[in-house]
Amino acid sequence: MNTKNLIRSKDVVCYDRILNCYLKHKGNRSLMEMCKNRSIIRLMEIMRQRGDRQLVQNSFLLILSLFENNPPDLYSAIGKDFETLTDDKEKREIIFELMKEVIT
């Protein structure tokens, strides 16, 4: 096995550990938090020892997407949920605005 494949396999092991930890503690918020923190500490050690910035960045993205309840982007948190609107006039206005955006 060449060196590049060995390095990539170490990346996969790192991602696999994060995923397994998440799946193992998915129902318990406090254990998930501990798992997340341990993963971050391991990543900082990897960064210090190997200087593998790409692995650390990708792993942080994986951790954030799994362990945090943040919306995927800013626009996900803007606006009102259409199903919760009770006023028909308000619903019509939203529909007309969306139609204008599609036509324009």
Listed by start position, the domains of the chain span 3-73
Q: What is the pLDDT of residues 10-44, one digit of tens each?
A: 788 889 999 998 899 888 888 989 999 999 999 99
Q: What is the mean pLDDT of the chain?
A: 79
12-to-7, 15, 48, 82, 100 alpha-carbon distances in Å = 9, 5, 19, 41, 46
H runs (alpha helix) in the chain: 3-24, 29-50, 53-67, 88-103
Given a cut of 90, whether residue 90 has pLDDT beyond it is no
pTM higher than 0.95: no
CB atoms within 10 A of CB 16: 10
At 84, the pLDDT band (50, 70, 90 cuts) reads low
- The residue type at 60: F
